Structure 1
Amino acid sequence: MQGEHLWQWGAGALAEAIRQRRVSAREAVESCLARIAQVNPVINALTEIQEQAALAAADKADQAVAAGGDLPPLHGVPATVKINVDQAGSATTNGVAPLVGLIASVDSPPVANWRDAGTIFLGRSNAPAFSCRWFTDNAPHGRTLNPWNPGLNVGGSSGGAAAATATGMSPLAHCNDLAGSARLPAAACGVYGLRPTVGRVPAFNATAKAERSLCLQFGSAQGVIARSVADIRLGLHSMARRDPRDPAWVPAPLEQPDDAAPVRVALFTGEGEHRPDSHTAAALRQAADTLADAGYEVVEAAPPRFIETAELWMALLSNDCRTPAARAAFSMGDADFLHSLELTAACVPEMSPADMLAALSARTGLLREWQLFLEAYPLLLMPTAWTAAFPVGHDIAGEREARELLVAHSPCTSTACVSVPALSIPFRPTGSPLPVGIQLVAGRFREGRILAAAEAMASRLPPVSPIDPVTA
């Protein structure tokens, strides 16, 4: 690592160097803050820079190192937190103007767990209003630009988290995923993005005025974005600790004895109009070959009722947004956000309460079928999205464009529907001007199996390094 700036280091490397007193937490934080000052004005990934609090926390971390004794796994490691979860002393703005003064008094569970693990928070990462748009743009904070191409979508809703990590503002980023919000930005920015099993990482916002809707409870997962699989693993282990505020948290083991054993992998290349573009197809083939080289048996197979699963989830989410409570909340959002919701809603059927109940019952059947499929094929390999990033504003261009997005993102919405874990892995096939995301999927609470396979792949691929954003 000689000659590198500390902002280029990964979370694990920083934690180890701080523990061994080869670098200080303050040096790590100052390096990342300097990178933020250089890059954030260009791409607008972070909405709030917590410089003084971060430096004070770094000094406290260095004092703990000097005192000796055991240190937590992320001691002194910088990270960012998405604007839709509570961080004590900071506003949970959710990307809407009326909430910019909503200051949290306590940390949400993922933030509390990372803080207990020694993480130092540098700032808040941008997201669209209520994190309900695949494009990271909102009225109070503005648009986050894709560091590879500012004319293309950075992804949503964790676009700020992915862009910050890709450009070296921090080695770790908190994110969450309801329909691809962690994986799609990770794919667009060329980093790793993990959606854990729902129930793996506890969630709760004390600033919320009501409990989350059923669809959010079934489908929203708190996750991690990083530049390496090792850092994804480190971030997940530290974030997944029990918090009694979330009754849905599950004490499932993070690792199992057979995680690293090569298994049969279902390679899904699409069906109907759900097919990869040329660069995505090339990345998918490269991913399959890499897994095969690592000893995995890769065979072509399609998950059960794939298109139906994706369409059911988007129908449930869209109708969830039609409730009076949701409409009242969403009215605080910006005009583009509301227009995006309208166009998406026009692409899915409107449901009565009885239809919603029937759809939720049907979802249970899909969960069962997918779980049985993932018994026969313990890993599923498919694109994160069927196509590369869309132009900025594509979701508000018209109903045809909204439909294109629903089709393109079906690998994320289908897996979210059945609440399984998935990791987006960055590839850069020959001739592709942009990174491409390929995701590994496994059965519920088998994140360890995904990470072991991803580590085997990563050992055969070039490492992911921070990039300088394209400013043209």
Structure 2
Amino acid sequence: MTPTPLWQLSLSELATTVRFRRATAVEVIDAHLERIAEVNPAVNAITVVFDERARALAVEVDRRLAAGEEVGPLAGVPFCVKENIDLTWSASTSGWPFLADAVPARDATMVRRLLEAGAIPIARGNMPDWGLRWDTDNDLFGRTLNPWDPSRVPGGSSGGDAVAVATGMVPLGLGNDYGGSLRLPAYAAGVCALRPSAGRIPAPTAEITEPVALSLQFFAVNGPIARRVDDLDTAFSLMHGADGSDPTAVSVPHPSSYEGPRRVAVVRDPLGWGVDPQVADAVGRAADALAAAGWQVDDVEPPMIEEAATLWRQISTTEMVGAFLPGALPMPLSAGSTRYFLDNAAETTVLESGEAYGGAWARRMLIAAAWERFFVEHPIVLGPVSARRMPEIGFDLSGPAATTELWRAHRLLVTVNFLGLPSVALPTGLDDEGLPTGVQLIAARNNDHVALAAARDVEAALGTLTPIDAPVGARA
């Protein structure tokens, strides 16, 4: 029997393989470096590769194991880090050429905690500059391609990490999610992502030295991308908790299982605005999987989705307009990000007064309270990640109306950000054209373990899709 290639193993399988010395840490790292060299030229998901430093850490892991010393739970396991998360091995560029030399002095807490667990950074993942688009392209590193169909976007902004995970270049990627930036690329790539509750994983920068916009404080989170739900849980268990630096980070217990009420609210077509047939089929398959696992499945919609999604767009756009206008854009955005920013702003009612801006945040409390009450009866909400399949490259730059169409498609996606809720995105099989489908499972604040438990039941029934043996662009 031919052994499974190391790059095909999951995070947990690799950790076990190294710990019990079925393969050395050096062999694991080399297998993934070889996979990067083979696959990345076809997809451009990885921006920087840490060959020598990763091997040096792997050598140390093997030395400690041979000496009978203790190693961390992820000893020898490689991971990649998005370009806007601090890692002292390379610049935190956020996809901007002018930050190409901005090497941080300290690792972000989530990176440090994985290093302490023995995991090894092997690469950086690509992103759109400033994380501005639901696509992954910038002037510094270029475009990341969707490994299933290179004519379609890979999602954004954590697109590089999602594609790297999907193609076996790494078993774990670190990204962040302000408007779906973990879940949407996972959906596009056919992998899993956890958008944790707000505040569960500390900031992507090692030190907060500048003012931070309110929307970044409340909407944005950091989290893992992996090929299996259990691997999301493993990574989150190591990374979460206050760090004495980020004032928004909290320490909340993370149970290993969920024994509470098993009732799920299924939202097949949020607000009745329409979904692609493939999306409806995916939600139906996930609902059936939960029902078979003993969940009570109710077709019922949480309250005030339209207002939540609208306020997410208004607040985020208002803050961006305040940062960039009036006058010329002070930041050197790429042409694509500039076009998207201007088109989106043209389609959005900006909150022009302090009263309007403050009132929007005040409304958030009412919406959050309504959802809190809803979760008492239905601890899980099942719905689409996006109401449509991934669009073709360039759709988001085809005019102002396209930005509204995408926002409408992502209405449930951004509602989760607006409310700071945990959500797991995971695949549900392939559609009639061989493209990944997927859903998200949303839970109440700090009930990340509930979302993970429901996701495990869906995954147990519907399986996984990746790693992809050869991306479309690399196939002969």
* TM-score, normalisation: structure 1: 0.96
Residue 239 of structure 2 corresponds to which residue in structure 1?
A: 239
Alignment of 1:244-283 (within 5 A): 244-255=244-255, 259-261=258-260, 263-272=262-271, 274-283=273-282
SS at match of 2:462: coil
Determine the C-alpha separation between the residues in 2 that align with 1:105 and 1:329: 28
Alignment of 1:167-246 (within 5 A): 167-206=167-206, 210-246=210-246
Residue 380 of structure 2 corresponds to which residue in structure 1?
A: 379
Q: Using the TM superposition, give the Cα deviation of residue 431 of structure 1 relative to its aligned residue in structure 2, in angstroms.
A: 2.0
Residue 35 of structure 2 corresponds to which residue in structure 1?
A: 35
CA spacing shift, 1:63–1:334, aligned 2, 3 Å: same
Q: Using the TM superposition, give the Cα deviation of residue 307 of structure 1 relative to its aligned residue in structure 2, in angstroms.
A: 1.2
Q: Using the TM superposition, give the Cα deviation of residue 272 of structure 1 relative to its aligned residue in structure 2, in angstroms.
A: 4.5
Determine the C-alpha separation between the residues in 1 that align with 2:184 and 2:307: 20
Amino acid at match of 1:18: V
Q: Using the TM superposition, give the Cα deviation of residue 463 of structure 1 relative to its aligned residue in structure 2, in angstroms.
A: 3.0
Determine the C-alpha separation between the residues in 1 that align with 2:361 and 2:338: 25
Determine the C-alpha separation between the residues in 2 that align with 1:243 and 1:31: 33
Determine the C-alpha separation between the residues in 1 that align with 2:61 and 2:392: 43
Amino acid at match of 2:319: D
- Asked if 2 retains the 8 angstrom alpha-carbon contact of 1:172 and 1:225, the reply is yes
CA spacing shift, 1:330–1:213, aligned 2, 3 Å: farther
Determine the C-alpha separation between the residues in 1 that align with 2:259 and 2:438: 22
Residue 162 of structure 2 corresponds to which residue in structure 1?
A: 162
SS at match of 2:26: helix
SS at match of 2:472: coil
CA spacing shift, 1:256–1:43, aligned 2, 3 Å: closer
Any gaps of 5 or more consecutive residues in structure 2? none
- Asked if 2 retains the 8 angstrom alpha-carbon contact of 1:198 and 1:420, the reply is yes
Residue 404 of structure 2 corresponds to which residue in structure 1?
A: 403
Listed one character per residue, the Cα deviations across residues 93-136 of structure 1 (whole Å, up to 9, x for unaligned) are: 01111101101111011111111111101110000011121110
Residue 428 of structure 1 corresponds to which residue in structure 2?
A: 429
Determine the C-alpha separation between the residues in 1 that align with 2:14 and 2:93: 30
Amino acid at match of 1:131: G
Residue 471 (structure 2) aligned to one of 448, 451, 469: 469
Determine the C-alpha separation between the residues in 2 that align with 1:27 and 1:371: 48
CA spacing shift, 1:326–1:459, aligned 2, 3 Å: farther
Residue 414 of structure 2 corresponds to which residue in structure 1?
A: 413
Listed one character per residue, the Cα deviations across residues 146-166 of structure 1 (whole Å, up to 9, x for unaligned) are: 000000010000000100000
Residue 137 of structure 1 corresponds to which residue in structure 2?
A: 137
Greater CA drift, 280-289 or 360-369: 360-369
Greater CA drift, 387-396 or 61-70: 61-70
| 1:313 equivalent in alignment to 2:312 | yes
Amino acid at match of 2:138: N
Determine the C-alpha separation between the residues in 2 that align with 1:112 and 1:219: 23
Q: Using the TM superposition, give the Cα deviation of residue 273 of structure 1 relative to its aligned residue in structure 2, in angstroms.
A: 5.4
CA spacing shift, 1:106–1:113, aligned 2, 3 Å: same
Determine the C-alpha separation between the residues in 1 that align with 2:414 and 2:449: 22
Amino acid at match of 2:130: F
SS at match of 1:459: helix
CA spacing shift, 1:285–1:226, aligned 2, 3 Å: same
Listed one character per residue, the Cα deviations across residues 377-419 of structure 1 (whole Å, up to 9, x for unaligned) are: 1000000000100011111110121111111111210111000
- Asked if 1 retains the 8 angstrom alpha-carbon contact of 2:135 and 2:157, the reply is yes
Determine the C-alpha separation between the residues in 1 that align with 2:310 and 2:208: 29
Q: Percent identity?
A: 36
- Asked if 2 retains the 8 angstrom alpha-carbon contact of 1:262 and 1:297, the reply is no
SS at match of 1:222: strand
- Asked if 2 retains the 8 angstrom alpha-carbon contact of 1:428 and 1:435, the reply is yes
Listed one character per residue, the Cα deviations across residues 46-97 of structure 1 (whole Å, up to 9, x for unaligned) are: 1111111111111111112122243222111100000011101310001111
Any gaps of 5 or more consecutive residues in structure 1? none
Amino acid at match of 1:470: V
Alignment of 1:75-90 (within 5 A): 75-90=75-90
Q: How many residues align?
A: 471
- Asked if 2 retains the 8 angstrom alpha-carbon contact of 1:384 and 1:438, the reply is yes
Determine the C-alpha separation between the residues in 2 that align with 1:46 and 1:114: 19
Q: Using the TM superposition, give the Cα deviation of residue 462 of structure 1 relative to its aligned residue in structure 2, in angstroms.
A: 2.5
Listed one character per residue, the Cα deviations across residues 6-34 of structure 1 (whole Å, up to 9, x for unaligned) are: 00000101101111111111111000000
The alignment yields a C-alpha RMSD, in angstroms, of 1.7
Residue 65 of structure 1 corresponds to which residue in structure 2?
A: 65
Q: Using the TM superposition, give the Cα deviation of residue 256 of structure 1 relative to its aligned residue in structure 2, in angstroms.
A: 6.7
Greater CA drift, 46-55 or 248-257: 248-257
Q: Using the TM superposition, give the Cα deviation of residue 433 of structure 1 relative to its aligned residue in structure 2, in angstroms.
A: 2.3
